[in-house]
Amino acid sequence: MTLGIEVNGLRLDYGKFAALRDVSFKLQGGKIYGLLGRNGSGKTSLLSILASFRKHTGGSVAIGGEAPFENARIVEQVCFIQESGHMTDGVKVRDALKLAASCWPNWDDDYADKLIRLFNLPVKKRVMALSRGMKSALGVTLGLASRAPVTIFDEAYLGMDAPSRYAFYEELLNDYMENPRTFILSTHLIEEVGSLFEEVLVLDEGKLLFHEETEALRSRGAAITGPAEAVDRIAEGLTVLGEQKLGRTKSVTVFGALTEEKRKAAQSEGLEFGPVSLQDLFVHLTKKRGDKQ
């Protein structure tokens, strides 16, 4: 089973501070989504609302066509795993797994056992005795084995070492192919995990900057390098996200519709076009005044 998500005019206030402001988007069920944003952009606030951990101030949220807050039928179809975790420190790992099995009706014991072996989880240890990496491994095990139709990871894998993170990415993709569901991954490790995203949402200061297919977003960015005057002519009409100059040579990162006419004109002037990674695009698009170049 897959569940879609629809958010309209969402607002969340903490006193006088607006953490989310007029956020609207629609997520089709059965895709892997990336949620990107700088610290304090509102990512965790948004995900907490989707998981019914927090009630929104205004607007509406629907999962599978129903409002999720205090809706037991929807709550048990959503699994939200955070980097900080919500596991009771005093319980043993095996008890945390048993509790998880009682929370999510699609829980898969066999898959949980496989993940325990993959991440070498010490099931007899108490959660409080685990290293940060092992706590993260336990979190991703709970999320994957939940088989919840909406599974959300909010930086849940930050504590894992690189081999464990890549094992997690591989498991997520393989399980998604075999058991389609809606995954939402909030991350700062864009270079590592960006290839998984089918669509990307970018939050900035509580507002939704973009919601696009990943490849479509990438295609709107380019690095143009060559003689400064020629680069400036081609960049005219496009949003220049960043630039560097060395002597008469200039390189700019642009964002916008690169028409075939512009590309041909650039080639005729001997300019070089290069791709811009999703991470570099994100950095440029969310750059603030005063940020170091």
Model pLDDT for residues 233-249, shown as the tens digit of each residue: 888 888 888 888 888 89
Helix (H, G, I), strand (E, B) or coil at 203: strand
d(CA 31, CA 29): 6
pLDDT at 190 (0 to 100): 92
* Residue 270 pLDDT greater than 90, yes or no: no
Measured CA to CA in angstroms, residue 129 lies from 121, 124, 226 at distances of 12, 10, 56
Specify the pTM. 0.90
* Residue 1 pLDDT greater than 80, yes or no: no
Q: What is the mean pLDDT of residues 53-77?
A: 94
Tokens encoding 49 = 């609302």
Chain Cα centroid distance, residue 231? 33
d(CA 48, CA 31): 19
Cβ atoms 253, 239 nearer than 8 A: no
Q: Where are the domains of the chain?
A: 5-214, 220-285
pLDDT digits (tens, 9 = 90+) for 25-51: 999 999 999 999 999 999 999 999 999
Phi-psi domain of 65 (left: phi exceeds 0; alpha: psi -120 through 50; beta: other): left
* Residue 194 pLDDT greater than 60, yes or no: yes
Long-range contacts of 12-17 (CB under 8 A, 24+ apart): 12/42, 12/45, 12/46, 12/49, 12/54, 12/56, 12/57, 12/206, 13/57
d(CA 163, CA 39): 25
What CA dihedral angle connects 175, 177, 178 and 184, to 10 degrees? Answer: 50
Helix (H, G, I), strand (E, B) or coil at 70: coil
CATH 3.40.50.300 for domain 5-214, yes or no, is yes
* Residue 168 pLDDT greater than 60, yes or no: yes
Cβ atoms 4, 28 nearer than 8 A: yes
Q: What is the mean pLDDT of residues 140-167?
A: 94
Please count the CA atoms within 13 angstroms of the CA of 186 that sit on its side-chain side.
Answer: 24
Helices marked H in 54-120: 72-75, 93-103, 109-119
Please count the CA atoms within 13 angstroms of the CA of 91 that sit on its side-chain side.
Answer: 13
Q: Using CB atoms within 10 A of its CB, is residue 142 exposed (0-12), middle (13-18) or buried (19+)? A: buried
Which of 126-135, 169-178, 258-267, 275-284 is predicted least confidently? 258-267
Q: What's the mean per-residue pLDDT of the chain?
A: 91
Q: What is the mean pLDDT of residues 89-98?
A: 90
pLDDT at 292 (0 to 100): 57
* Residue 84 pLDDT greater than 80, yes or no: no
CATH 3.90.730.10 for domain 220-285, yes or no, is no
User: Which H or E run contains 25?
Assistant: strand 17-27
> Amino acid letter at 189?
L
pLDDT at 107 (0 to 100): 97
